[in-house]
Structure 1
């Protein structure tokens, strides 16, 4: 009997010691949680600022104009390359001679038509004069077609033939680009395309130009969307507004298009708002106490949001209102000592 009583007393003593340390540990955790909550419940002062909403895309740099030149553009039927006047990398002016094919036949035709026209002017009828004049113009155009000239000022990027080569009318002879300005074509997801407008500003960065940010402008929005593997996008062209000598065709580029912006408006972090019963709220500090207030919000950047109503400049609010509210609610349910662990304390038999 005495042995049973001793065992019961030892069990009770051990249980009491365990309860003491469990309660103390729970209390320490509660204090730590409260202190952590206070640290987390940081406040900020509501101020006015500016906000941008952007959509992004990536693409490659292209010159505003590039052309693969052939003698077909000059009306010629082709022939042997007689002379090449340029090489890759040359800068050319509009109208400058680039290449020429053998023109003996065209020159003879021109001289014959010219002579016929001059003779017809002396003795021919009005109709004959008009016919002779038309033949002269055709012959003159054919002769001019044997000379390939630059359609605009730019840079020769390729010379595809050599002197002595025979070319058909559609064979590329040289390629030329207008390097006075460049543009970037990017693809914007169809879900964001409604926000696009001509003239919108953009920011452009390139791996080839680390640390530099170039100005851009939306100059073209395709009227037709494109589909690739189930993804639908809209091609958008952005003109690079800055003149940078080092830019080259086919550089990769990242573009941010500014689709909306607000200036001098009240703004708070998105973490400072929470939803309660369908109402957007913020936690305002009034006389040292946290008071939830209804607010109306506007455009958001994904990090900050414009406040249209409910707060004024200078108000102090919690920066993490949702988390703070959750933590406070949990702490209010847990008193010092707390509930017993599941199963309660063990008891000895009588």
Structure 2
């Protein structure tokens, strides 16, 4: 009987100790839960944000031109190399001028001879005219003198045309650039014979464009003159400006997209992009007003939600995503004046106390 009483006392003490330990544990847990969690917040405000369409495009030349000689001949000298930057009026290549110079000299001699003959025929006609007026020459002699003068004058005009043509041929033996740009390709070499009109040098203009394929939906939103921001892939520091200069009206048969040509403007360095390089293209098609928040503030557990702060506690608020522009997202479900938790959401739960702290998630 005594043993039983002792055992009951021991059991009672154990129960008391367990309860005490449980209360201590609950107190510790409550203390931990009540400790405010550091977060970083922002005031939610309705505002306008640029509405952009994002695409990737390929860099190309605004204009590519093939230069050729107007006359056939042997290429004497090529003055440029592939990849070289050239300026308007710069000499690109020239033909051997020996034969052309001889031809011009011959034409010059023929012109001078014809001019002399025409002047002599004119002088003879004027003398015969005086004699005819004084009765010393017949009308027929006057008409023959006039006819000879007209023939000689026609020969002179023909010789003059031939001389100018030969001078033009000699001038055309030099090939000049008519725009600023870059040498893309040299198709002939020094010493080769080239035919008239056969391409010798290919030059691209200094101006460059970026081509993008617009969807059927987006092509309705883009107009000639629409502004664009161009971000060369692999170069985070370079941001270029451009505007739409051409929109093709017929879609590509394979992709069913409409090609838009965006002319790079403003920055001369922008025209040094490699042909065929990729650019991220942001087409500015207007603005849209709404609640814009950082994309990083959005949480998801099957539904999109954020945390807002009311009375120094975090509360879950479901939201609907409408538009995404870079790192910003337009949402429904928030209102002006809400306090949004934009960082420090990792360990938050419904109703937990928060305090403004650093942006590091715990």
The alignment's TM-score, normalised by the length of structure 2, stands at 0.55
Give yes or no for the alignment of 1:53 onto 2:58.
no
Aligned counterpart in structure 1 of residue 242 of structure 2, from 203, 208, 217: 217
Alpha-carbon displacement from aligned partner over 1:157-194 (angstroms, at most 9, x marks no partner): 43332222122234332233344x43222222222111
Alpha-carbon displacement from aligned partner over 1:102-139 (angstroms, at most 9, x marks no partner): 33443333334334444437456597365444333322
Query: Match of 1:193, SS?
Result: helix
Return 5+ residue gaps in structure 2 as ranges.
1-32, 123-148, 299-307, 313-320, 343-349, 351-362
- Residues in 2 aligned to 1:164 and 1:235: alpha-carbon distance in whole angstroms: 43
Give the superposition deviation at 1:90: 4.0
Query: Match of 2:272, SS?
Result: coil
Decide whether the 8 Å contact of 1:188 with 1:236 is kept in 2.
Answer: no
Decide whether the 8 Å contact of 1:187 with 1:236 is kept in 2.
Answer: no
Q: How does 1:115-194 map to 2 (within 5 A)?
A: 115-118=109-112, 119-120=114-115, 122=119, 128=154, 130-179=157-206, 181-194=207-220
Query: Match of 1:228, SS?
Result: coil
- Residues in 2 aligned to 1:86 and 1:268: alpha-carbon distance in whole angstroms: 55
Query: Match of 1:51, SS?
Result: strand
- Residues in 2 aligned to 1:230 and 1:164: alpha-carbon distance in whole angstroms: 46
Query: Match of 1:254, SS?
Result: strand
The alignment's TM-score, normalised by the length of structure 1, stands at 0.57
- Residues in 2 aligned to 1:304 and 1:90: alpha-carbon distance in whole angstroms: 45
- Residues in 1 aligned to 2:57 and 2:309: alpha-carbon distance in whole angstroms: 47
- Residues in 2 aligned to 1:89 and 1:260: alpha-carbon distance in whole angstroms: 36
- Residues in 2 aligned to 1:201 and 1:220: alpha-carbon distance in whole angstroms: 11
Q: Which residue of the partner structure matches residue 285 of structure 2?
A: 260
Query: Match of 1:162, SS?
Result: coil
- Residues in 1 aligned to 2:92 and 2:205: alpha-carbon distance in whole angstroms: 15
Return 5+ residue gaps in structure 1 as ranges.
1-34, 273-283, 289-296, 320-326, 328-350
Decide whether the 8 Å contact of 1:193 with 1:234 is kept in 2.
Answer: no
Give yes or no for the alignment of 1:109 onto 2:136.
no
Q: Which residue of the partner structure matches residue 242 of structure 1?
A: 267
Q: Which residue of the partner structure matches residue 89 of structure 2?
A: 95
Query: Match of 1:227, SS?
Result: coil
- Residues in 2 aligned to 1:155 and 1:269: alpha-carbon distance in whole angstroms: 44
Query: Match of 1:143, SS?
Result: helix
- Residues in 2 aligned to 1:107 and 1:164: alpha-carbon distance in whole angstroms: 18
Count of matched residue positions in the alignment of Structure 1 and Structure 2: 269
Decide whether the 8 Å contact of 1:84 with 1:163 is kept in 2.
Answer: yes
Change (3 A) 1:247 1:91: closer
Q: Which residue of the partner structure matches residue 16 of structure 1?
A: none
Change (3 A) 1:236 1:85: closer
Query: Match of 1:161, SS?
Result: coil
Change (3 A) 1:159 1:247: same
Q: Which residue of the partner structure matches residue 305 of structure 1?
A: 330
Alpha-carbon displacement from aligned partner over 1:182-221 (angstroms, at most 9, x marks no partner): 32222222221111121413232222xx322322212422
Change (3 A) 1:59 1:317: closer
Decide whether the 8 Å contact of 1:184 with 1:240 is kept in 2.
Answer: no
- Residues in 2 aligned to 1:230 and 1:263: alpha-carbon distance in whole angstroms: 29
Change (3 A) 1:156 1:190: same
Change (3 A) 1:191 1:94: same
